[in-house]
Structure 1
Amino acid sequence: MINVYDKYKPLRNALRTLEIESVLQLVRRKHGEVDSSGRAAIQDRWGSAIGIVFNWELHLLAREAMLHAGRDPWLRRADRGDLIPLVNHIRRITEEISKRAIDSGERAMKSLHTLMHQQARWQNPRDWDRLYRAHRVYGSQLVRDMFEAIVGTSLPSMITMAFATAGQAARVGVVDAAADYSGVGVTQDERDAYFAMVGASYSEAREALSAAQRYDEGWSHTWNYLEAKPLVCLWDDRPKQFLCPIPELVLRRVTEGLFYDLAKSGAKYGNAYGLAFQDYVGDVLTVQFKRSSQKVMAEEEYRVKRDRKDGVDWIVSDATGHLMIECKTRRMRLDAKITPDSEHLTETLSDLADSIVQHY
């Protein structure tokens, strides 16, 4: 286990001189320029490109600003000239981690596992795909009632609020939780439930981020609390106003993030959720494979003597062969994502292997 706190301190010290709202607004504005490849150009005062910043680096900067930038009004307000020095601090930390942790070709190859989990998901800007999948799965009759009981709002109202708040955040950064959304069909109770789900106080966010912080090879891969609570209230005298440094996290929260709301609820939703996802996969297959020569077959039960067994979830067939599809909704644990050769990763891969061979 390595320790890079010595390389981390310059970033911490630089952020301590800056006022937090200005840093987060700087992150928000630059994040709005990120393209489909996951990066944005950095310009000088005359508009000439002098560098690039990656989406995940902006996520790290927002996380570290929440930990170290201050709320005192006398602190200096960050401007665009601060972006390159701050991003360079982040890069020096990650470069030093590579120097200290990667000592062989095998170790370098294993490090690709953690890099993939850190970077690949932010290179897919297709929010509509995620929103449709969430609408199809969580809107299913199999899980709809359970979903509304856990989240406290209907799925259409939650998605409406997500679009409204993400739009406000992208334009000005600040979202008003006391606004009236009845004009778009959202009740006050649903509004309040939504903001309770996506919003956090400054102290709550800092405490959660501090608890997860580490200064070893997992520094840049630790879970960012802003994914759970993308809206943060920075002002004690304005408890209904929230700043959103990364608007894309609002839409991620009501798509990818919903899985964890249900998982942590303690409700027995697993089987219903799995069946809803299986139905969604069937919908996709029937749309894609619709030629007369192609056939999509749903799961059928069968018996081996007296034992009842379930068949493969979906089978797609044509004259050339058969494609057997088994639907699984398991998620890889965070500790398996951020460590390239740990027992947690081995356990996760073994679990996946068991699922793959269950029909042999």
Structure 2
Amino acid sequence: MKQELLTKLRLERASKRIDSIVLSSSLDRLLVMVWAATMVSKQEFRTAERFLEVPGEALDQSIESSWRIHEWELETFLNEVLSRQGADLGTATRNSNFDPRKWSSLAECINATKSLEEAEYLAMRQPTEVLEEMRRIAHRQFQWQSGLTNKLSVYRSTYLYAFKTAKAAFESKLGVSLEAFQKYGFALWTTALSSPHVAAIRNLEFLDVSEAEQRICADLISIQPSQLQQMNEELRSDNVEAAYKPSLLRQRPAVCVDGAPDHLFLPVPDILIERISAGIYYDVVAPNFAMTREMGERFEGYIFNLFSAQFGEFRVQRETTYTFKRHEVKTPDLFIGRTERLDCIVECKATRMPLRAKFGIGTAAIAERNELELAKAITQIWKYVAHKRLNLIPDDLSVTETTIGVVCTLDNWTVMSDNRRADFIAAAHQIAHEKHPEICDSDKIPITFCAVEDLELLIIGSNYETMVEALSIATDPQYAGWHVSHLHGRNFPGNGTQQNHPIIRSIKDSFPWLSKLEAKAASSD
């Protein structure tokens, strides 16, 4: 009982520490401070110093530096600040020494956020394995570490979600074309890299975006003060740690403040790029089953393009059909090998990972449903091997003793989690036993899981032989939860990103107007 009381008091103190910051500064000054901190993390020190005192030690933003700024902490802090706007902060007191231009005040904001996270963890979390907690942390941080503005990520999201019917649905639902939305977002982001607040409406004739379209786009990406209470109730009212609650900024990365209706604050500009790319999924694809199915088909095509563009001299083949017990059966999605000798059998799963599943706060039903989807992917691979052994498939491909299975996922289901990988494989064994008795133990080839962003890095930084070897190494249970690209770098050092990769060239072709925007930005410097 005493420990529970102490934990409760610690949580109250940590929350009041954030309350005090909110009382000690206007919202616009806090937004500018966070923007300047973001520029420090990008090592844009001269830009940051216009609004924030940056000590010499903070010029070291290496991963080992204790002065390093972590943008995921800034995002959590901002969400806590926004959730308190207009709220009754009770007995919290104003800190007269708080000055958003001083580094010590930024440090207080970050430390207060960490204190809140630690207090909430003690108050809310059940005993859990260390690796399970590391998985939650990895899901929170990895996206920032790999870069929200990663060009491959933007290209991939647009390829997957911006197909013809989705574009039409986007324009019908939101009143502006997807192309205009993305142009407007990139234009704002470019400006926000040099200024904490930007004009909501500007001259974008060179991008063929009208003023009327800009107003619609601005409304879609910005939070108005009058909207904060409702958005907080919808997104952040669950009794979950602040670090793992849905982020207001992921839906609306720009913030409006009272008295400046024509200006947008973009405190963490890179979130805007995610909103206009990956965010498209939640605008139109997620609510529509037919579009979700089409997205899955496009995901298979995207993975095929990744392999075939880089390894075209080898055999990269898509799925076929065959007859089994008078029914048409599909093979796995992709086959990769040297001529007819198979090195990898690939099954693609575009199942999105719910926020609750990422952070271990979902219901058992959600976990079981998603586990079943990944287990089915494994079983599909094993079933193909069994049917090849039984001479039921009339193709010239051959499975060898070194052939492996690869389950390629849109989200990273197994990062830092050997338990989750083991659960998927155990469920696949159960499905095989109950529904596919023709599968024997020799058909159950080794399986590795590889998220698409990991696969992109692997393919771009490897040759065919090292790529296959890295995937094979990743089937070893001791490497469960590892990124395959990291395993590749560890075992085959010296392979760097190949900037001439066909996928990278296609990114430039997909956004031809970006060159106009870059030229415009360069001319204004």
Greater mean alpha carbon deviation, residues 87-96 or residues 345-354: 345-354
- Contact 1:233/1:239 (8 A) holds in 2: yes
- Return the index of the structure with the highest Cα Rg: 2
Distance 2:289 2:201 in 1: 30
Q: Give the unaligned 5+ runs of structure 2.
A: 59-65, 88-95, 384-525
Greater mean alpha carbon deviation, residues 349-358 or residues 321-330: 349-358
Map of 1:321 onto structure 2? 342
- 1:164 corresponds, among 162, 187, 193, to 187
Map of 1:31 onto structure 2? 38
Residue type matched to 2:19 in 1?
R
Question: Structure 1 vs Structure 2: percent identity of aligned residues?
Answer: 19
Map of 2:354 onto structure 1? 333
Q: Cα RMSD over matched residues?
A: 3.2
- Contact 1:15/1:65 (8 A) holds in 2: yes
Distance 2:55 2:71 in 1: 23
Count of residue pairs brought into register by the alignment: 349
Q: 2:265 matched to 1:209?
A: no
- Contact 1:202/1:233 (8 A) holds in 2: yes
- 2:296 corresponds, among 258, 274, 281, to 274
Greater mean alpha carbon deviation, residues 156-165 or residues 90-99: 90-99
Q: 2:137 matched to 1:115?
A: yes
Q: 2:374 matched to 1:352?
A: yes
Q: What is the DSSP-based 3-state SS (H/G/I as helix, E as strand, rest coil) of the residue aligned with 2:328?
A: strand
Q: How does 1:200-279 map to 2 (within 5 A)?
A: 200-213=223-236, 218-235=241-258, 237-266=259-288, 268-279=290-301
Q: CA 1:327–1:247 in 2, change beyond 3 Å: closer, same or farther?
A: same
Alpha-carbon displacement from aligned partner over 1:77-132 (angstroms, at most 9, x marks no partner): 6223310111111122233345556786x533321121111111111125211122
Distance 2:57 2:257 in 1: 33
Structure-1-length-normalised TM-score: 0.84
Residue 354 (structure 1) shift: 2.9
Residue 298 (structure 1) shift: 1.2
Greater relative contact order (CA < 8 Å, ≥ 6 in sequence): 1
Q: CA 1:355–1:186 in 2, change beyond 3 Å: closer, same or farther?
A: same
Distance 2:239 2:288 in 1: 33
Map of 2:105 onto structure 1? 82
Residue type matched to 1:26 in 2?
M
- Contact 2:40/2:69 (8 A) holds in 1: no
Map of 2:497 onto structure 1? none
Map of 2:56 onto structure 1? 47
Residue type matched to 1:54 in 2?
H
Map of 2:509 onto structure 1? none
Q: What is the DSSP-based 3-state SS (H/G/I as helix, E as strand, rest coil) of the residue aligned with 2:348?
A: coil
Distance 2:216 2:349 in 1: 30
- 2:26 corresponds, among 19, 23, 26, to 19
Map of 1:60 onto structure 2? 76
Q: CA 1:52–1:70 in 2, change beyond 3 Å: closer, same or farther?
A: farther
Residue 23 (structure 1) shift: 0.6
Greater mean alpha carbon deviation, residues 128-137 or residues 95-104: 95-104
Q: CA 1:350–1:7 in 2, change beyond 3 Å: closer, same or farther?
A: farther
Q: 2:154 matched to 1:131?
A: yes
- Contact 1:209/1:225 (8 A) holds in 2: yes
Q: 2:218 matched to 1:198?
A: no
Distance 2:53 2:219 in 1: 39
Q: CA 1:315–1:260 in 2, change beyond 3 Å: closer, same or farther?
A: same
Q: What is the DSSP-based 3-state SS (H/G/I as helix, E as strand, rest coil) of the residue aligned with 1:32?
A: helix
Distance 2:169 2:226 in 1: 31
Residue 70 (structure 1) shift: 7.0
Q: What is the DSSP-based 3-state SS (H/G/I as helix, E as strand, rest coil) of the residue aligned with 2:352?
A: coil
Q: Give the unaligned 5+ runs of structure 1.
A: none
- 1:173 corresponds, among 196, 209, 230, to 196
Q: CA 1:94–1:341 in 2, change beyond 3 Å: closer, same or farther?
A: same
- 1:298 corresponds, among 301, 315, 318, to 318
- Contact 1:205/1:226 (8 A) holds in 2: no
Q: CA 1:170–1:110 in 2, change beyond 3 Å: closer, same or farther?
A: same
Distance 1:336 1:139 in 2: 26
- Contact 1:63/1:209 (8 A) holds in 2: no
Distance 1:44 1:143 in 2: 46
Greater mean alpha carbon deviation, residues 78-87 or residues 178-187: 178-187
Q: CA 1:44–1:149 in 2, change beyond 3 Å: closer, same or farther?
A: closer
- Contact 1:198/1:228 (8 A) holds in 2: yes
Residue 139 (structure 1) shift: 4.4
Q: CA 1:353–1:16 in 2, change beyond 3 Å: closer, same or farther?
A: farther
- Contact 1:137/1:277 (8 A) holds in 2: yes
Distance 1:217 1:107 in 2: 18
- Contact 2:121/2:241 (8 A) holds in 1: no
Q: CA 1:165–1:34 in 2, change beyond 3 Å: closer, same or farther?
A: same
Map of 1:312 onto structure 2? 332
Q: What is the DSSP-based 3-state SS (H/G/I as helix, E as strand, rest coil) of the residue aligned with 1:172?
A: coil
Q: CA 1:249–1:59 in 2, change beyond 3 Å: closer, same or farther?
A: same
Alpha-carbon displacement from aligned partner over 1:300-350 (angstroms, at most 9, x marks no partner): 122224312222221111266331222222111122222268524454333
Residue 253 (structure 1) shift: 0.4
Q: CA 1:135–1:333 in 2, change beyond 3 Å: closer, same or farther?
A: closer
- Contact 2:318/2:335 (8 A) holds in 1: yes
Q: What is the DSSP-based 3-state SS (H/G/I as helix, E as strand, rest coil) of the residue aligned with 1:66?
A: helix
- Contact 1:200/1:233 (8 A) holds in 2: yes
- 2:306 corresponds, among 279, 284, 301, to 284
- Contact 1:97/1:216 (8 A) holds in 2: no
